[in-house]
Amino acid sequence: MKLYCLSGHPTLPCNVLKFKSTTIMLDCGLDMTSTLNFLPLPLVQSPRLSNLPGWSLKDGNAFLDKELKECSGHVFVDSVPEFCLPETELIDLSTVDVILISNYHCMMALPYITEHTGFTGTVYATEPTVQIGRLLMEELVNFIERVPKAQSASLWKNKDIQRLLPSPLKDAVEVSTWRRCYTMQEVNSALSKIQLVGYSQKIELFGAVQVTPLSSGYALGSSNWIIQSHYEKVSYVSGSSLLTTHPQPMDQASLKNSDVLILTGLTQIPTANPDGMVGEFCSNLALTVRNGGNVLVPCYPSGVIYDLLECLYQYIDSAGLSNIPFYFISPVANSSLEFSQIFAEWLCHNKQTKVYLPEPPFPHAELIQTNKLKHYPSLHGDFSSDFRQPCVVFTGHPSLRFGDVVHFMELWGKSSLNTVIFTEPDFSYLEALAPYQPLAMKCIYCPIDTRLNFIQVSKLLKEVQPLHVVCPEQYTQPPPAQSHRMDLMIDCQPPAMSYRRAEVLALPFKRRYEKIEIMPELADALVPMEIKPGISLATVSAVLHTKDNKHVLQPPPRPAQPTGGKKRKRASDDIPDCKVLKPLLSGSIPVEQFVQTLEKHGFSDIKVEDTAKGHIVLLQEAETLIQIEEDSTHIICDNDEMLRVRLRDLVLKFLQKF
Amino acid sequence: MAAVTRRPWPCAPSSGPRPAPRAGELEAARRPARTYRLRGRLRGAQRHGGGAARPHLGTAGTAVGLTMDPECSQLLPALCAVLADPRQPMADDTCLEKLLDWFKTITEAGSSLLLLQENPCLVELLCHMLKPQDLSSRVLSFSLRLTGVFAAQEDCFQYLQQGELLPRLFGEAGPLGGAAWTAPTVRSGWIQGLRSLARHPSALHFLADCGAVDTIFSLQGDSSLFVASAAGQLLVHILGLSMQGPADGPPSLQAGDWPACAQKIVGHIEESLRSMATPQITQALNVLTTTFGHCHDPWTRVLWVRLSPLVAGLLEKDPVPAAHSLVDLLLSVARSPGLSSSSCGLWETLAQTLSRLSPTQAGPLALGILKLQDCSQALRAQAFAVLLQPLACVLKATAQAPGASGVLDGTVGDFATVDTLLPSKAACVGLLCRTLAHLELLLPLPQRPCPWPQAPLLGAAVTLLQLCQGSASPTSDTGRHLCALLLGCVRVQRAALDFLGTLSQGTGPPELVTEVFAVLLEYLRSPDSSPTVLKKAFQATFRWLLSSPKTPGCWDLDPQALLFLRELLPVLQKRLCSPCWEVRDSGLEFLTQMTGRWGGQAGFRHTLLASEVPKLTEQLLRDPESYVRASAVAATGQLSSQGLCISPASPEHPGGQQSPLSELLHILSTDSEGFPRRAAMHVFTQWLRDSHADVVGDTEEFVAGVLQVASQDLDWEVRAQGLELALVFLEQTLGQPGSPCPYAVTPPVVAPACPLAQALQPLCRVRLFEFAFRALFDCDRPVAQKSCDLLLFLRAKMASSSSPQEARSSPDVASVEAALQRWQAGDQAQPLGDLEPEVVLAVLKSMDLEGLRGALAESSDHVEKSPQSLLQDMLATVGILGENEADCY
């Protein structure tokens, strides 16, 4: 059993598991932090961005000044943003049989895999994962395609040139593999390969293994997966949450008794408690708005935004913010808000019960109804006529490199009355803000990451008790900035196995059994013999048939009748010659009685030695040694076959034959 | 039985059927208890004031209720009959408690024997308990206790002995052997009965004869904790009683000569102390603890000399059994005046105990030792080291360099000690919280250890807080282990913040003080600080700001504290916007405290005005949570007093904001919750007292407005506060009242230059008298009391200034008096109208305010408290029960 690790990002995993005869890809996350090296794509022509000076080498050589721009001491690539793909060279991805998706954030690289690697398999995901994943992809494609960039920078990627660049460009890894965003056509094609599954549904893969999605509690439709054969069980835990937010709670019980538990997608900000962060978010939002400033919340169009809107729904009246408009701007805003209300079966119990009242499960419906929350596909159109300040704007993309957020950063960045509040934990807020410096607006970092923290993981592992834990290497040591925080790492026994990008891990676990079925007529023919109370043995003569990874013992074909005519022999008639079967032996040899028997048969000068595994009976005169162990007996004598046979027969007297 | 037939004993089992109560008695008994109404009370009070005293139980200064009055005597047979009747269960056993209290009062004041002879029904009731029947355990318990109460007097004891009642109730023939004994309340009644009874030498003989002491020994291990505890107490009592000895002299100080009963008890204690079973040892130790705690006679010294080797023997065992009880005993002995000298070897035992017990067990002992007035220095040093040990461990485990823990260094060994001290999260947290609490208790005491290790303790508190927050970066493995244990632990955070606040009383090295402010700021900033932790962080911050070094001659904050304040205010701003109302509330409280202390100082004012805090405070007056609104009202009042409120109407928001006065008046008249309205009244009173600028302009209009609103408030505290405001206004108008303290330096009373009637004019204009008279008949007693005091103060003023113009018998006076009578009767609809000062003076003179005050001083249930009422209630309840039963069939 092997694990191929194609991504180094612990929360955007992409691993391939080879288990029995199947090749299973676990998630295909897309690392978008690479886009932070690029200049933002402004929706409206930005004089500030277009007038940034080109970057030149120390010696004054300015051949890169078209590709690289300098802003407040940082250098950015002036080109269409590119993404860091999972490894494609480590394993032939066309051999992947299935892809299991755990949540909508972990499928963003899917078009790259399904459309460009010769992949011919099936993708499995839950319905909300697919629908919201589609929205995220649609938004991404829309954000990038609607701001076409004439030039595409590639010179800087040259290895010789890259090492001359300042950090962080100099240190960016695998830049040659960075790719531009996929198209909507590729998205559609990729999504068409997905087969929808429900929680606890058992899916057979070629008869060899069975995969089952379980609720992971993190997002709408998010799942952990169980991959099991008859005797082995592998759990894949990715992006799970024990907090009571909107999704169905995590199913922990089904993860019990795994041989291997692959653990990814823990919280990215283990030191920030989501509750505290929500409080921080509300306080800062109210403080800004009360002072007449605007609040900008760069966010994804689905996920935490639902919880934030719910908190605000409860908070705005108490904070006297009832008159402040909330705007949600995204090409998929409408679909996201509406989808969230229709996936009732995937919601937590409280929200599910609301549906039967019937009431919308999320209170943002009421915010929309009362005109407190308005949503728009983009800045253009109705929004510009409705827009009034002070206000709160939720919009993407959290990297601040594309999407409507770029416009608001340019618009509001100059006033210290305004505040940008970062709630998505995926991007370093300082790096995201770098191309907007100098910035007068206040910046608040309230990352809300509801995924498991290390305390919860430790409890989970104690409860489900897997034999082995496999996780990204980042989880096996404290974060570099807080090396004393031993609590910020996985602590389990035996220690977790860690992996890093482009590594192949042989999982520490050997398959020992395979299930074989016996045909009824063959079973009828067996005559078991009890050798110990409760244990019976029977010899079986049969033919093993293997098809679709299922093994069946069938009765052996009858011996061929001698045929008179010269018929042509068919391949199937060519039965193997059955050798004369030696009887099977069972039982144990009581040493004392054996020695007495030897003495009775004329052997003298017998010595018995105890060994770790049994006994050695030494016939000193005959220079012969009988080694008796639990599962074997050896007679060692020098070329005296007669003696050996005599002794053998004496040994056999103590054993049962059948 | 023989005794019963020999003597005309009223409770003889053969005395035939119980005489039925007479019809009149029953009727009187079944009369429902009178309900007590306010108006009745006032009328009664007036009668009382006029000398028509009614018998009240427990009324101070009266002897009524101490003897059985005829009405009660009349009701008693019916009640006894009810109690003895198992078909009429007492639903409420608090009645029995009250009844017992009443009998105790009577027997303490007079002869029990006489009582029993005059009320034979009582003995009948007690005898009735001896019959085999299905009696309620409550009544049986009550009877046992009642018997004890009667038998406390020796002559009554003898009387009851004659009838063999006592042995039959308390001996083996009584409930002791029967099914009733399974009820804990009966066992408890048995013990309490004996406890009351054991007051004289005859009782001791009785106890010895009936073998009660052995039963008490066994009851020490009773399954009911109350019974077990009472058994222990009884043993202590019996021991004390037997050691008082016979009348011919004090008992011998030689243990061997002690009375048999005492010998028996001490023998039992010795046996228990030698036992291997911890519960028995605990019982013995508890008995001894109580003995040494309550009795300081010379014989206790002999007792300790005799038992101390056995107690010391407990320390040899591993683990030390019943450690908590042992600590209690040793401290009790050490506190005993006759025993605390070193000659008893007590200090050695204490020192040995300190070293033998685990840190958790030794902590309370160490604290107790340090609280002792006289004790050897070496022992004090050892105790202090034990107390400091957990904190020393923390410092050592997190120290960057060896020796950084300073004075605490000597108190701790190696890391192995740390491991034993702080093994698991629960143990570690418990130990640290207890240590911090102990040190906090010790700090203000005069006998606290000297030198006090202020700096290391500050360091330890700061380190603990950093560990809990995850901001400490320990280098050692133990430190990291500690960090993992304490991370996010709210209990330790709270305890450490409290302790840190207490430490602000002392000084510390400047770099440590900087660290203190840094850690406080960290807590105030952290989004993960729970509301309670945050509140404590605010409190500690205020205390540290108070203690920050002062610039000579200036009350302002020192430059460093101002710098801190500049960092703090943005945090406070954010906290005032928190979604959690507790946080907003504690933020406002903190602001109020700060403004009250430094509001007049330039540095503070400047920093505060540069922030958004005043504006946010004003917005919080409209918070949905009433507690927050109340705190915002207090904060606004304080800010406004100091002139720190935002400008009422800025050009950008014309008419958008009101002045604080009108805002608070609006709250007083419209807020649906009591807290904000009370807070507003407090602020107004304070403003009037401080001559706030908004008030000084037109004080009369202000007072009139506030009183008018307050008089209609449904919340009595608001009305009471209105009287406080009225009193302030009265004082300002008429001059200060006489100081209650005879030694206080009082300025010479400035008598109003004008005649009193004229001086009363402003009070009439603001309708203060109408407000006060209305309050005088308020249905809530504190309001009426306050009003009464106010009017009495006014009348005292009146007496001191002779006023020639009085309208004693004018028609106005008569109409006002008539209106007041209607008010008193509950009809307060009609206003008094405009009052002339002369009329007010005349009305005041004619009122019996002293009488009213006396009536109001009585507790509101004094009528119900009368024994007669109690008896009636009990009978009435049973009557009702009976009726229900009849209805059912």
- Write the pLDDT tens digit of every residue in A426-471: 999 999 999 999 999 999 999 999 999 999 999 999 999 999 999 9
The better pLDDT of the pair B621, B697 is held by B621
Integer Cα distance of A170 and A167 in angstroms? 5
Integer Cα distance of B671 and B809 in angstroms? 44
Question: What residue of B is the nearest CA neighbor of A274?
Answer: B528
Residues of chain B with pLDDT > 70: what percent?
80
Answer yes or no: are the C-beta atoms of B216 and B191 closer than 8 Å: yes
Integer Cα distance of B423 and B429 in angstroms? 10
The CA-based angle A198-A201-A205, given to 5 degrees, is 115
Integer Cα distance of B820 and B46 in angstroms? 14
Buried b (16+ CB within 10 A) or exposed e, B711-727: bebebbbbbbbbbbbbb
Chain A hits for B529, CB-CB cut-off 8 Å, are 276
**DSSP-assigned beta bridge partners for residue A5:** A15, A503
Interface test with A, best of B577, B578, B646 (most A CBs within 10 A): B577
Interchain CB distance below 8 Å, A484 and B473: yes
Q: Is the CB of B470 inside 8 Å of chain A's CB atoms?
A: yes
Chain B hits for A283, CB-CB cut-off 8 Å, are 574-575, 577-579
Question: What residue of A is the nearest CA neighbor of B624?
Answer: A318
Which among B472, B484, B526 has CB closest to A486?
Answer: B484
Q: Which helix (H) or strand (E) holds A123?
A: strand A122-126
Residue B408 located in a structural domain: no
Integer Cα distance of B617 and B642 in angstroms? 14
Integer Cα distance of B821 and B815 in angstroms? 10
- Could you tell me whether strands A98-100 and A179-180 are parallel, antiparallel, or unpaired per DSSP bridges? unpaired
Comparing A628-637, A644-653, B241-250, the range with the smallest average pLDDT is B241-250
Q: What is the pLDDT of residue B425?
A: 86
What is the secondary structure of B443-496 as a DSSP string?
TTSTT--SS--HHHHHHHHHHHHHHHHT-----SHHHHHHHHHHTT-HHHHHHH
Average pLDDT over all residues of chain A = 90
Average pLDDT for B484-510:
92
Integer Cα distance of B53 and A1 in angstroms? 99
**DSSP-assigned beta bridge partners for residue B637:** none
Cβ within 8 Å of residue B239, ≥6 positions away: B261, B262, B265, B266, B287, B291
Q: What is the pLDDT of residue B171?
A: 85
Does residue B510 carry a pLDDT above 90? no
What is the secondary structure of B47-68 as a DSSP string?
HHHTT-PPP-TT-TT--TTSS-
Question: What residue of A is the nearest CA neighbor of B485?
Answer: A487
Q: What is the pLDDT of residue B12?
A: 40
- Going by pLDDT thresholds of 50, 70 and 90, the confidence category of residue B343 is low
Q: Is the CB of B610 inside 8 Å of chain A's CB atoms?
A: no
Q: Is the CB of B1 inside 8 Å of chain A's CB atoms?
A: no
Interchain CB distance below 8 Å, A320 and B619: yes
Interchain CB distance below 8 Å, A280 and B579: no
The better pLDDT of the pair B797, A446 is held by A446
Does residue B346 carry a pLDDT above 80? yes
Average pLDDT for B348-373:
90
Comparing A148-152, B373-377, B829-833, the range with the smallest average pLDDT is B829-833
The better pLDDT of the pair B669, B839 is held by B669
Integer Cα distance of B308 and B294 in angstroms? 18
Q: How far is B721 from chain A (nearest CA, A)?
A: 29
Average pLDDT for A628-637:
86
Interface test with B, best of A449, A482, A487, A488 (most B CBs within 10 A): A487
Cβ within 8 Å of residue B175, ≥6 positions away: B129, B140, B144, B169, B181, B186, B190
Q: What is the pLDDT of residue B736?
A: 58
Residue B795 located in a structural domain: yes
Q: What is the pLDDT of residue A561?
A: 63
Residue B831 located in a structural domain: yes
Q: Both tokens of residue B711?
A: 């008089």
- Residue A288, judged by CB atoms within 10 A of its CB (0-12, 13-18, 19+), counts as buried
- Going by pLDDT thresholds of 50, 70 and 90, the confidence category of residue B853 is confident
Answer yes or no: are the C-beta atoms of A118 and A93 closer than 8 Å: yes
Cβ within 8 Å of residue B451, ≥6 positions away: B407
Domain of residue B833: give its range: 716-857
Q: Both tokens of residue B82?
A: 């009810």
Residue with tokens 């020393």: B392
Amino acid letter, residue B770: E
CA nearest neighbour of A433 among A71, A4, A29, A182: A71
Does residue B248 carry a pLDDT above 60? no
Compute chain A's Rg from CA coordinates. Answer: 34
Q: What is the pLDDT of residue B34?
A: 33
Q: What is the pLDDT of residue B749?
A: 47
Instruction: Report the SS3 class of residue B304.
Output: helix
Chain B hits for A273, CB-CB cut-off 8 Å, are 527-528
Q: How far is A43 from chain B (nearest CA, A)?
A: 33
Interchain CB distance below 8 Å, B527 and A487: no
Residue B850 located in a structural domain: yes
Answer yes or no: are the C-beta atoms of A601 and A583 closer than 8 Å: no
Chain B hits for A318, CB-CB cut-off 8 Å, are 579, 581, 623-625
Q: What is the pLDDT of residue A579?
A: 57
Chain B hits for A271, CB-CB cut-off 8 Å, are 470
Answer yes or no: are the C-beta atoms of A614 and A627 closer than 8 Å: yes
Integer Cα distance of B393 and B400 in angstroms? 13
Q: How far is A426 from chain B (nearest CA, A)?
A: 20
Integer Cα distance of B309 and B299 in angstroms? 17
Interchain CB distance below 8 Å, B577 and A290: yes
CB neighbourhood size of B672 (10 A): 7
Interchain CB distance below 8 Å, B579 and A278: yes
Domain count, chain B: 1
In tens, the pLDDT along A517-540 reads 999 999 998 888 887 788 888 888
Question: What residue of B is the nearest CA neighbor of A311?
Answer: B579
Chain A hits for B479, CB-CB cut-off 8 Å, are 484
CB neighbourhood size of B14 (10 A): 7
Average pLDDT for A315-334:
91
Average pLDDT for B433-460:
90
Query: Which of the listed ranges B6-10, B152-156, B749-753 does the model predict with the highest average pLDDT?
Result: B152-156
Residues 158-177, chain B, touching A (beta carbon < 8 A): none
Average pLDDT for A476-500:
89
- Going by pLDDT thresholds of 50, 70 and 90, the confidence category of residue B886 is very low
Q: What is the pLDDT of residue B244?
A: 81
First to last CA, chain B: 40
Amino acid letter, residue B623: D
Which among A273, A278, A319 has CB closest to B577?
Answer: A319
CA nearest neighbour of B738 among B686, B802, B800: B800
Question: What residue of A is the nearest CA neighbor of B477?
Answer: A484
Q: Both tokens of residue A149?
A: 């960039």
In tens, the pLDDT along B251-300 reads 666 767 788 889 999 999 999 999 999 999 999 999 999 999 988 888 88
Chain B hits for A278, CB-CB cut-off 8 Å, are 579
Q: What is the pLDDT of residue B6?
A: 33
Q: What is the pLDDT of residue B441?
A: 92
Q: Is the CB of B530 inside 8 Å of chain A's CB atoms?
A: no
Integer Cα distance of A434 and A75 in angstroms? 9
Residue B845 located in a structural domain: yes
- Going by pLDDT thresholds of 50, 70 and 90, the confidence category of residue B340 is low
Question: What residue of A is the nearest CA neighbor of B573?
Answer: A287
Residue B825 located in a structural domain: yes
Q: Which helix (H) or strand (E) holds A8?
A: none
- Going by pLDDT thresholds of 50, 70 and 90, the confidence category of residue B100 is very high
Alpha helices in A182-332 (DSSP H): 184-191, 274-290, 304-318
User: How many helices (H) does chain B have, and how many strands (E)?
Assistant: 46, 0
Integer Cα distance of B145 and B149 in angstroms? 6
Q: Both tokens of residue B268?
A: 């039992």
Instruction: Compute the half-sphere exposure of residue A587: CA atoms within 13 Å on the CB side of its CA.
Output: 14
- Going by pLDDT thresholds of 50, 70 and 90, the confidence category of residue A290 is confident
Answer yes or no: are the C-beta atoms of A651 and A642 closer than 8 Å: no
Chain B hits for A482, CB-CB cut-off 8 Å, are 470, 473
Amino acid letter, residue B78: A
Which among B528, B574, B624 has CB closest to A287?
Answer: B574
Integer Cα distance of B124 and B110 in angstroms? 21
CA nearest neighbour of B692 among B746, B737, B638: B638
Question: What residue of A is the nearest CA neighbor of B529?
Answer: A276
Q: Is the CB of B573 inside 8 Å of chain A's CB atoms?
A: yes
Q: Is the CB of B184 inside 8 Å of chain A's CB atoms?
A: no
Residue B810 located in a structural domain: yes
Q: Is the CB of B627 inside 8 Å of chain A's CB atoms?
A: no
Say which DSSP state A175 is in: G
Average pLDDT for B39-49:
33
Q: Which helix (H) or strand (E) holds B104?
A: helix B93-109
Interchain CB distance below 8 Å, A276 and B574: no
Phi then psi for residue A617, to 5 deg, are -100, 120
Q: Both tokens of residue A653?
A: 């007297």
For A364-409, list the strands marked E by DSSP: 373-376, 392-395
Interchain CB distance below 8 Å, A317 and B577: no
Interchain CB distance below 8 Å, B484 and A314: no
Q: What is the pLDDT of residue A180?
A: 93
Average pLDDT over all residues of chain B = 81
Residue B462 located in a structural domain: no
Q: What is the pLDDT of residue B653?
A: 46
Does residue B706 carry a pLDDT above 50? yes
Q: What is the pLDDT of residue A584?
A: 76
Q: How far, CA to CA in Å, does B30 sit from each of A497, B75, B99, B500? A: 84, 10, 17, 63
Residues from A in contact with B at Cβ < 8 Å: 271-273, 276-280, 282-284, 286-287, 290-291, 311, 314-315, 317-320, 446, 482-487
- Residue A205, judged by CB atoms within 10 A of its CB (0-12, 13-18, 19+), counts as buried
In tens, the pLDDT along B104-146 reads 999 998 899 999 988 999 988 988 888 777 778 888 999 999 9
In tens, the pLDDT along A158-199 reads 888 898 888 889 888 889 889 999 999 999 999 999 999 999
Which among B487, B573, B580 has CB closest to A287?
Answer: B573
Q: How far is A286 from chain B (nearest CA, A)?
A: 6
The better pLDDT of the pair B163, A378 is held by A378
Does residue A572 carry a pLDDT above 60? no
Q: What is the pLDDT of residue B864?
A: 64
Which among B479, B616, B623 has CB closest to A290?
Answer: B616
| ipTM exceeding the 0.85 mark | no
The better pLDDT of the pair B1, B880 is held by B880
Interchain CB distance below 8 Å, B612 and A485: no
Query: Which of the listed ranges A631-640, B6-15, B464-473 does the model predict with the highest average pLDDT?
Result: B464-473
A-to-B residue pairs, Cβ atoms closer than 8 angstroms: 74
Q: What is the pLDDT of residue B58?
A: 31
Answer yes or no: are the C-beta atoms of A420 and A307 closer than 8 Å: no
Interchain CB distance below 8 Å, B615 and A290: yes
Answer yes or no: are the C-beta atoms of A120 and A286 closer than 8 Å: no
Does residue B51 carry a pLDDT above 90? no
Q: How far, CA to CA in Å, does B122 sit from each of B143, B148, B312, B572? A: 10, 13, 51, 70
Interchain CB distance below 8 Å, A290 and B580: no
Q: What is the pLDDT of residue B415?
A: 53
Q: How far is A503 from chain B (nearest CA, A)?
A: 31
Comparing A325-334, B477-486, B509-518, the range with the smallest average pLDDT is B477-486
In tens, the pLDDT along B742-785 reads 454 544 444 455 677 777 888 888 889 889 988 998 888 899 99
Which among A278, A284, A290 has CB closest to B619?
Answer: A290
Interchain CB distance below 8 Å, A320 and B479: no
